[in-house]
Structure 1
Amino acid sequence: MADLTSNRPTRTLADGNEIPLLALGVWQVPDGPECENAVRWALEAGYRHIDTAQAYGNEASVGRALRDSGVAPEDVFLTTKFNPGLRDPEAEVQRSLERLGVEAVDLYIVHWPQGGPTWAWDGMQRAHERGYARSIGVSNFNVSEIDAVRKVADVAPVVNQVQFSPFEFRRELWEACESRGIALEAYSPLGTGRHLRDRRVADVAERLGRTPAQVLIRWALQRNLIVLPKSTHRDRIEQNAQVFDFELSPGDMETLDGLDGTGGTDRALERSWW
């Protein structure tokens, strides 16, 4: 388990690499100044994990912000994702590295299992073997898809990034990942803003003197999840980082657990978009 009293807690992945539990996600952030500012503000606020993707179209902005931040590149954990609408993970990560302006990413993920769960894994392993990615993983994979990859893998995936929050508490998927040595990463932990308006979350937040976003992020951290809140507002980016100086009680955790609408599924999504 991570030490959540630290202001930059990490988790040790199955391959031995350390990953910060709190990340800034930049999904749906346009390439250009808006993305650059969000990344810069996050780094100023103490984030040391940035999560982007080829499909987001903003890797170049992330790279510019990293270079302009004054933070040493080796101090920032950088994730990008292979777009499975393309052909070759190894070739595409090299293009990502050019856009990002780095020699390697810390984590490279198959963004979704388009075309089946296993076809891209050989290219992911080549990217890892050649030093372009220090760790490799998957995203939006169900348990059966994870097991299919593990069956053919020489290097097993160490993360599965999925939509996850108290409202999407995919308990069977989470437990299956943990039992296989795969860390679960929670994207859209705030429900792209929807979950912040829930009265039950607000009640917990008001009682603790916290924001609803802080409560939802803290819920994920207390489950030893890597959590990726996205914002382009400086004040919210800063608030979302202020989650290591309070604790949700067992009763609070139970209340939030009860918000799940997935039935504790082992599936990563209720419906596929590809």
Structure 2
Amino acid sequence: MTDNAQATRTLSNGETIPVLGLGVWQVPDGKQTEQSVSMALEAGYRLIDTAQAYGNEASVGRAIRSSGIPREDIFLTTKFYPGSRDPLVEAEKSLRRLDTEYVDLYLIHWPQGGPTWAWPGMEKASEAGLAKAIGISNFGADELQELLKVSQIQPAVNQILFNPFDYRRALVEACEQAGVVAQAYSPLGTGQHLNNPVVGRIAEATGRTPAQVLIRWAIQKGLSVIPKSTHRERIEQNYAVFDFTLDDEAVTALDALDTTTQTPDALAPSDKWWS
């Protein structure tokens, strides 16, 4: 255990969120999810991110309970699957699977059916004490603005695809201007960016792994970051990113890898699987 877990961002509700956590997207339910979460907690992670659509909430809950770490010391996120109808009802189901009385953050997983219809149900989940904070995922700047016009409770987080190749600078700026913390998923590009020569050169120059370089870049951009791994060594390496800083030259080189023109959109139209 290190002091890394103390690096946080403050949310709009006054709670804090760690700037580094473990995501379990595409990790099978059962032993593999339990082991990944357990290894992460042992390494010092205190943010665990799951979702109804992942199908592994029960395994996440078992790992948290067996860790012996007080529940209040762990920041737990799950997400409303917008193919369902009622965020409040689905939150209750998630809490039963997770075997916990609340989640620290409950997100709309993507804006299927429009950016505003599910928000009243999210607010009800918050008001009922099922979620300390509520937020969104895969919302572009325009969709965020639409939501802000009707929300009674401000979204605390927007979880977005973000890495040097998907450098959504304008979207992050829109979130910051609205008081919404941007959180990066797929900071490693699901592994495909680890062999990039620019990333490799910076990793060699800094004596770090390519994954550490990519995670550190996103943290220096001010985001909370949730890399996924199921291997103990990589989980531990991914967490060891608080004892170095990328210099301006390295950051500029990574910025230049962007393929999105630093877009305010969460995803390209062709990548919106719900459309």
Distance of aligned partners of 1:68 and 1:6 in 2 relative to their CA distance in 1, 3 Å threshold:
closer
1:36 has 2:42 as partner: no
Structure 1 partner of 2:130: 132
2:107 to 94, 106, 109: 109
Q: Secondary structure at 2:134's aligned position in 1?
A: strand
Q: What TM-score, normalized by structure 2, do the two folds share?
A: 0.97
Q: Distance in 2 between matches of 1:41 and 1:6?
A: 17
Deviation at 1:251, TM superposition (A): 1.0
Taking the aligned partners of 1:6 and 1:21, their CA distance within structure 2 comes to: 12
Q: Which runs of 5+ in 2 are unaligned?
A: none
Counterpart pick for 2:217 among 216, 219, 223: 219
For residue 202 of structure 1, what is the aligned residue in structure 2? 200
Say how many residue pairs are matched. Answer: 270
CA distance in 2, matches of 1:154, 1:272: 27
| Gap change, CA 1:6 and 1:71, over 3 Å in 2 | closer
Letter of the 1:272 counterpart: K
2:164 maps to a residue whose letter is P
From 234, 238, 253, the equivalent of 1:255 is 253
Deviation at 1:6, TM superposition (A): 4.8
User: 1:262: how far off?
Assistant: 0.3
> How many percent identity over aligned positions?
61
Mapped partners of 1:52, 1:176: distance in 2: 25
Partners of 2:211 and 2:93 in 1: how far apart? 34
What RMSD in Å do the two structures reach over aligned CA positions? Answer: 0.9
The Cα shift of 1:7 comes to: 1.4
Aligned-partner residue type, residue 266 of structure 1:
P
Q: 1:21·1:221 contact (CA, 8 Å) conserved in 2?
A: yes
Q: Which of 7, 10, 23 is the aligned partner of 2:4? A: 7
CA distance in 1, matches of 2:241, 2:73: 20
- In the TM superposition, residue 71 of structure 1 has moved relative to its aligned partner by 1.0
Larger deviation, residues 39-48 vs 7-16: 7-16
TM-score, normalised to structure 1's length? Answer: 0.97
Structure 2 Cα separation of the partners of residues 183 and 160 of structure 1: 6
User: Structure 1: which amino acid aligns with 2:105?
Assistant: L
Give me the whole-angstrom Cα distance separating, in 2, the residues matched to 1:159 and 1:6: 24
Q: Report the Cα distance in structure 2 between the residues aligned to 1:12 and 1:265, rounded to whole angstroms.
A: 25
- Cα deviation for residue 15 of structure 1 reads 1.5
Question: Does structure 2 conserve the Cα–Cα contact (< 8 Å) formed by 1:6 and 1:244?
Answer: no
Q: Structure 1 residue 94: deviation in Å?
A: 0.5
Q: In the alignment, is the contact (CA less than 8 A) between 1:78 and 1:105 conserved in 2?
A: yes
Cα deviation, 1:196-244, whole Å, max 9, x if unaligned, reads 0100000000011100000000001111200010001111001100001
Unpaired stretches in structure 1, ≥5 consecutive residues: none
CA distance in 2, matches of 1:151, 1:168: 27
